[in-house]
Structure 1
Amino acid sequence: MKVDAPVELVFIPSPGMGHLVPMVEIAKQLIGRDYRLSITVLVMKMPLFDKSKIGSTTQSLLLTAAEERLNFVYLPQQDQAEVRSKDFILELIDMNKQHVRDHVTKMVSTELRRLAGFVIDMFCTPMMDVAAEFGIPTYVFFPSSCAFLGLMFHLETLERDHNHDVTELKDSDAELEVPGFTNPVPAKVLPSRVLDKEGGSTRFLGIFKRFREAKGIMVNTFEELESYAVKSLAGDDKVPPIYNVGPVLHLLKDKKEEEEEEVNQIMRWLDDQPPSSVVFLCFGSMGSFDEDQVREIAQALEQSSHRFLWSVRQPQPKGKIGMPSEYQDLNQVLPEGFLERTTKIGKVIGWAPQVAVLSHKAVGGFVSHCGWNSTLESLWCGVPMATWPMYAEQQMNAFQLVRELELAVEIKLDYRKDFRFYYSKPKLVTADEIENGIRKLMENEDKSTEGIKNKVQEMSEKSKIAVKEGGSSYDSIGGFIEDAMNNMHSP
């Protein structure tokens, strides 16, 4: 059947770098694969991110990504967007339902638009109601791992069908048998939201209950990375079709980033370092530590004597939710004389151009918070990781990387510093623990560490093959496009 007008998909990401960026990247891939496709991205604004360095970087990405069949529409600002509750993201999305409804109504009023469906971020399930009003299906873009998706379906089933109260696992030493994992999963690595007794767990699991209504789920992973979890989900007839489309990464430098002197200084410093000699420490867009923990990291770096590039961010004042900021004077948080003593082997920075750093030949290891985007970037670049998770599903990712996939060394698996303050102050990770992790990561004395480095290099090659023509993710994207096009032919 001939398609006379462009077939339109409406993308609805939730705000935040880790959600917005991969959705923009998969949108670019889709329109690049099929000339019939046009995509409109509806962008929700939130002051929490807009005033930060991350916000300006995201803004730059959107401006450079816009092209003929990829349009960005900024929804009206919500005055209540700086909600201080644990569910402020979900509340923001609910507030934007009417704005989405109004814009899509305008879109369908012209004969030039043929809507094939919504593609929503994992937190945007309330938008499924809007899609249903227009008689179109909803797809989900899931920005984390296939194993984590399978875990959440499993926990949702336990609560719904077997009356299990998952929150009872908080502070438990229990281990769970979970489809998609070959090893028992310790309760201590479950996400904070799942363990929240104040209603957060039920609301969070409700997201995955609604996932079952979707026409399909795109997951930012690739079969070769998570073969066991991929097969497990594919065999579950109560789950919508899964499209493993990753790694979906933003690899190109932004023009604005290239023009910044602080970025150029970082890259020039790396240019002067020997190959694979630098350990890079960076903890994501929301990651920061208090002064006691910063000093332990500094001591560990001095003790290890390894070259380092360390991103240090200033946390928000206690009780306030927001993005970490830049220190005006690093000496106020670092041990006295640290910068002078390490000047020949280290560089301490604020915000980091992460992909550019991981891509540099001087970087030999990555101490990471284990955010899924960062994990995929590190694997793509062939840089082994040491795990130090902080919030969201990062403890699960750390467990998967260390125990399931044997692609990382452990500093911690169960460290927890959630910016929504579900947990009390985290236990201090000592300088000796950190130094031990850095040595395992950067030195080849341990055969298991050497095996990890080899596996990471192999996975790096597999990740690149997956997205090329004929690769597993390339074919999966083709399957998604075919399904979306068939929506236009259905009665």
Structure 2
Amino acid sequence: MEKHQVGSRPHVALYPVMGLGHLIPFLELARNLVSSHGFTVTLITPSWNVSPLETKYVSDLLTSNTNTIRQVELPQIPSDGEDVKDVFTFVLDQISKAMPAVEQNLRILQQPNGPFSPVRALISDLFHASSLDVTDSLGLPNYVLFTSSTAFLCFMLCVPRLYLSDGNEAPPFSVNIPGWKNPFHERDFPEVLHNKSSTMFHGFLRLCSPLRAMKAILVNTFDALETQTIHALLSAKVPEIDRLPPVHAIGPIIRSVDLPQDDRKGEERLKMWLDSRAKASVVFVSFGTRGLMSTEQLIEIALGLEASGLNFVWVVRGISNTKNGTSNLEVELSSVLPEGFLSRVEGRGIVLTSWAPQVAILSHPAVGAFVSHCGWNSTLEAIWFGVPIVAWPLYAEQRMNCLSIVNEWMVGLEAVKGEDGLVGRAELQSVLEKVMDGEEGRLARKNMEELSLKARCAVTEREGSSFESMEASFSGLVIATEK
């Protein structure tokens, strides 16, 4: 969109968390703001704990938008020499220590002496909600891009009252999510809330409270997906929430294409193999960038896939050791998978040990089911491409996403863990057979196809809007459209 010269375009700063589940929606939002709505964007990113893949995603965006998107990298945070108790608390502490640098950069971006016009708003990640103090001092509107569901947003808005009340409500706790058939029970809450004396528990509470004070909350969802929940928040009809900023569904924001892979020949071989499979005959198994399994669980997955007789593409990113909490990202498949497994499934199964082109796989007509950890990005991508889900939640809010997939939208089935905490080979075989060729699977496929059409309609309607109708299509960024 070239209607406005770069210097006259409205300018917003985006402050994402460097983890792919959070980073990708921010980068895609930046791309959309520039290409469809005439904005310029400054990405504020940390320089610590950044993976090569995250760096590659940012670099790809900057390369393809050299005149309209730029990056401001925050300086390294000096170490205080203390041992890291847990990653969650460590990240929150690092973010807090970076706030002076964030403020300094935002002050510079407000000045009318650069190639972009002065910045008019900050869109921050949930984890960066503490930036509210900085933006208040600068007179800069602060929005949150919420990279999960509206149902989980509703839950987070209820959490302070739930845990900081005067004790009127005795455990076990539950939350009534508008539009949900059943309450969301404490047993399904994120693990950080299970131990109320932990630093992670109090860190999570720190994330919840500032949400109410934001200029607006932008959610990566769409109306047809969470209609009643969105409308309840918009109309302030959630009794547990006493104050609420405007909430706007601006999704689904998903990757349109994968990053170019280093192994081009491997990618071509994968495509040729998928092209040779019948429609909806392949199971795609992937648990996200952090979805590491124990050796015991990997063996059960392998034997379940083998027993199913189905075609499959399985991504094994590494091994976790549940006994000592360590992980190993360098996987030698022959040392962890059952003896002879790879030779027995040769021709009908592919095991990948590196980054997989998830968009290319899910969009291929040969793929008929997605065994997923229920991360929100993966869930939206499955919806976009109309692929039923075998839900296998691992951490964070994924249990809530699983309940939405299975009970609310009925677009998938759950792989149920046994008493030993593992999804056994027989359970995996059974749920795969149901989703691929059972009555439950046929219903899930039908519902998913309908939901996919609604997702595409939501994006088409938004992309057809002009710069002048920005307020209608990305409501909440009103301040950024002022001329």
- Length-normalised TM-score, structure 2: 0.88
The alpha-carbon distance between structure 1 residues 178 and 243, as it changes in their structure 2 partners (threshold 3 A), is closer
Q: 1:6·1:114 contact (CA, 8 Å) conserved in 2?
A: no
TM-aligned CA deviation for residue 181 of structure 1: 2.1
Q: 2:406·2:413 contact (CA, 8 Å) conserved in 1?
A: yes
TM-aligned CA deviation for residue 109 of structure 1: 3.3
Deviations 1:372-409 (A, max 9, x none): 00000001011000000001100110011111111111
Residues in 1 aligned to 2:91 and 2:377: alpha-carbon distance in whole angstroms:
19
The alpha-carbon distance between structure 1 residues 227 and 481, as it changes in their structure 2 partners (threshold 3 A), is closer
- What are the equivalent positions in structure 2 for 1:258-297 lying under 5 Å apart? 260-297=264-301
The alpha-carbon distance between structure 1 residues 251 and 390, as it changes in their structure 2 partners (threshold 3 A), is same
TM-aligned CA deviation for residue 485 of structure 1: 4.4
Residue 157 of structure 2 corresponds to which residue in structure 1? 153
Which residue of 241, 251, 254 maps to 1:249? Answer: 254
The alpha-carbon distance between structure 1 residues 341 and 79, as it changes in their structure 2 partners (threshold 3 A), is farther
Q: 1:116·1:484 contact (CA, 8 Å) conserved in 2?
A: no
Of 22-31 and 77-86, more deviation after overlay is shown by 77-86
Q: Percentage identity across aligned positions?
A: 31
Which residue of 375, 395, 400 maps to 1:396? Answer: 400
Letter in 1 for 2:91: I
TM-aligned CA deviation for residue 321 of structure 1: 7.6
SS of alignment partner, residue 249 of structure 1: coil
Q: 1:467·1:473 contact (CA, 8 Å) conserved in 2?
A: no
Deviations 1:21-46 (A, max 9, x none): 111111221222333x3211101133
Deviations 1:224-265 (A, max 9, x none): 0111211221121721111101110111233x3276333223
- What are the equivalent positions in structure 2 for 1:226-375 lying under 5 Å apart? 226-236=226-236, 238-254=243-259, 256-257=260-261, 260-315=264-319, 325-327=329-331, 329-350=332-353, 351-375=355-379
The alpha-carbon distance between structure 1 residues 321 and 90, as it changes in their structure 2 partners (threshold 3 A), is farther
The alpha-carbon distance between structure 1 residues 324 and 147, as it changes in their structure 2 partners (threshold 3 A), is farther
- What are the equivalent positions in structure 2 for 1:181-260 lying under 5 Å apart? 181-197=180-196, 198-236=198-236, 238-254=243-259, 256-257=260-261, 260=264
Residue 97 of structure 1 corresponds to which residue in structure 2? 99
Q: 2:363·2:385 contact (CA, 8 Å) conserved in 1?
A: yes
Residue 240 of structure 2 corresponds to which residue in structure 1? none
The alpha-carbon distance between structure 1 residues 474 and 91, as it changes in their structure 2 partners (threshold 3 A), is farther
Q: Structure 1 residue 461 and structure 2 residue 453: aligned?
A: yes
- Length-normalised TM-score, structure 1: 0.87
Q: 1:19·1:121 contact (CA, 8 Å) conserved in 2?
A: yes
The alpha-carbon distance between structure 1 residues 315 and 63, as it changes in their structure 2 partners (threshold 3 A), is farther
Residue 420 of structure 1 corresponds to which residue in structure 2? none
SS of alignment partner, residue 396 of structure 2: coil
Residues in 1 aligned to 2:48 and 2:218: alpha-carbon distance in whole angstroms:
25
Task: Count residues in correspondence.
Answer: 466
Q: Structure 1 residue 11 and structure 2 residue 14: aligned?
A: yes
- What is the RMSD computed on CA atoms of the aligned residues? 3.0
TM-aligned CA deviation for residue 56 of structure 1: 5.2
TM-aligned CA deviation for residue 272 of structure 1: 1.9
Residues in 2 aligned to 1:83 and 1:488: alpha-carbon distance in whole angstroms:
43
SS of alignment partner, residue 469 of structure 1: helix
Residues in 1 aligned to 2:465 and 2:236: alpha-carbon distance in whole angstroms:
20
Letter in 1 for 2:187: K
Residues in 1 aligned to 2:367 and 2:481: alpha-carbon distance in whole angstroms:
48
SS of alignment partner, residue 120 of structure 2: strand
Residues in 2 aligned to 1:279 and 1:29: alpha-carbon distance in whole angstroms:
31
Letter in 1 for 2:226: E
Residues in 1 aligned to 2:183 and 2:465: alpha-carbon distance in whole angstroms:
28
Letter in 2 for 1:75: L
The alpha-carbon distance between structure 1 residues 368 and 10, as it changes in their structure 2 partners (threshold 3 A), is same
Residues in 1 aligned to 2:360 and 2:398: alpha-carbon distance in whole angstroms:
22
TM-aligned CA deviation for residue 17 of structure 1: 0.6
Residues in 1 aligned to 2:420 and 2:466: alpha-carbon distance in whole angstroms:
41
Residues in 1 aligned to 2:272 and 2:76: alpha-carbon distance in whole angstroms:
40
Residues in 2 aligned to 1:398 and 1:474: alpha-carbon distance in whole angstroms:
36
Residue 422 of structure 1 corresponds to which residue in structure 2? none
The alpha-carbon distance between structure 1 residues 80 and 456, as it changes in their structure 2 partners (threshold 3 A), is farther
Deviations 1:176-226 (A, max 9, x none): 433342222232221112223214223313322101100101100000011
Q: 1:287·1:324 contact (CA, 8 Å) conserved in 2?
A: no
Of 184-193 and 221-230, more deviation after overlay is shown by 184-193
SS of alignment partner, residue 236 of structure 1: coil
Q: 1:11·1:42 contact (CA, 8 Å) conserved in 2?
A: yes
Unaligned runs of 5+ in 1: 416-424
Q: Structure 1 residue 439 and structure 2 residue 433: aligned?
A: yes
Letter in 2 for 1:432: A
TM-aligned CA deviation for residue 115 of structure 1: 2.6
Residue 46 of structure 2 corresponds to which residue in structure 1? 44
Q: Structure 1 residue 137 and structure 2 residue 137: aligned?
A: no
Residues in 1 aligned to 2:104 and 2:271: alpha-carbon distance in whole angstroms:
46
Residues in 1 aligned to 2:14 and 2:462: alpha-carbon distance in whole angstroms:
26
Unaligned runs of 5+ in 2: 238-242
Residues in 2 aligned to 1:62 and 1:385: alpha-carbon distance in whole angstroms:
29
SS of alignment partner, residue 361 of structure 2: helix
